[in-house]
Amino acid sequence: MDNYKAMETVLAREVELLDRIPPLQSLIRDAVINRDWADYEILMESIGEIGERFGSLETERQALLDTISGNTEQEQFYTLTARLPERERNALGTLYRRLKMETLQIKLANDALMEYLKEARKAVAGVIETAYPERRGKLYTKDGSTIEADMKSVMINRHF
């Protein structure tokens, strides 16, 4: 029963942390779209802090699982829950499934934002190439040597 309570506490804390991420992802998306880089940095720090806390909880959860058996994570979890009474098994199973589903939703939101950024970078590269066709995607360092057009650090002044 001690393992059940400890596992339930860790899973509940992990789910609680994951619940904080989607609103932050939405704010990050808005900050990127609005080009509010100060807010973006603050929000990314918040996500990083949540990630660090989640990582320590994962380590704690894995240590709990390791005390039970030496199988793979999924087998370890279900090995633990199989030994418990039905009520506890259902409670842990519900938390574990919620953890996995929220992780997947967060990953999908991240992938969507990365796809948006990739398309925005392509659009900016197209605009720059149209405006300056002689450059043909070439960028120059401050000493005048040519570098590849990566577009990661291109800054465009919106005021002409």
Domain boundaries, the chain: 2-112
Class of domain 2-112: mainly alpha
What pLDDT was estimated at residue 101? 94
What pLDDT was estimated at residue 100? 92
Residue 160 has pLDDT above 50, yes or no: no
Residue 79 has pLDDT above 70, yes or no: yes
Residue 85 has pLDDT above 80, yes or no: yes
Residue 129 has pLDDT above 80, yes or no: no
Could you give the CA distance from residue 11 to residue 24 in angstroms, rounded to a whole number?
A: 21
The model carries a pTM of: 0.69
What pLDDT was estimated at residue 56? 94
Counting Cβ atoms within 10 Å, is residue 8 exposed (0-12), middle (13-18) or buried (19+)? middle
Q: Which range (10-24, 55-69, 101-115) has the least confidence?
A: 55-69
Q: Is residue 123 very low, low, confident or very high in pLDDT (cuts 50, 70, 90)?
A: confident
More confident residue, 47 or 134: 47
146, containing H or E segment: strand 146-147
> How far lies 155's CA from each of 74, 124, 148, in Å?
46, 10, 16
Tell me which residue has tokens 């996995």. 100
